């Protein structure tokens, strides 16, 4: 079976999204699909609340949008080593490279 690339765009803060926010991403990972996660808009607050350990272990690529951090006064936040920073301009290319895009 061909691997599919899933891009999950997490736009909601932890309180709004709740604990099931990453259920679809984890399900795709269980089936050995390539799973990428982009934190943007209020989704960057997951970095303050802490991403669930299972998400950190299961998702292959975790990135945060630089402009979302800046807009929320979090530009100087010390990011974990497993999180990369992407510019907003890179988002269309990330979306185009994915087989399936899921917003949240």
CATH of the domain at 75: 3.40.1260.10
Sign of CA dihedral 74, 76, 80, 86: positive
DSSP tag of 12: S
Mean pLDDT for 58-84 is 96
Q: Give me the chain's average pLDDT, please.
A: 93
pLDDT confidence of residue 60: 93
Mean pLDDT for 72-92 is 95
Number of domains in the chain: 1
pLDDT confidence of residue 92: 97
| Residue 2 phi, psi (nearest 5) | -70, 135
The torsion angle over the Cα atoms of residues 93, 97, 102 and 104, rounded to 10 degrees, is: -30
Q: What is the pLDDT of residues 37-68, one digit of tens each?
A: 999 999 999 999 889 999 999 999 999 999 99
pTM reported for the whole predicted model: 0.92
Higher pLDDT, 104 or 70: 70
List the domain range (segments joined by +) for residue 64.
5-13+20-103
């Amino acid at each position: 079976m061909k691997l599919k690339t899933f891009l999950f765009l997490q736009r909601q803060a932890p309180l709004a999204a709740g604990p099931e926010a990453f259920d679809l991403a984890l399900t795709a990972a269980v089936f050995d699909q390539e799973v990428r996660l982009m934190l943007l808009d209020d989704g960057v607050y997951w970095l303050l609340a802490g991403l669930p350990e299972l998400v950190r272990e299961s998702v292959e690529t975790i990135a945060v949008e630089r402009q979302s951090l800046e807009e929320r006064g979090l530009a100087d936040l010390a990011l974990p080593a497993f999180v990369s920073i992407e510019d907003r301009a890179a988002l269309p290319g990330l979306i185009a490279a994915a087989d399936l895009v899921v917003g949240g």
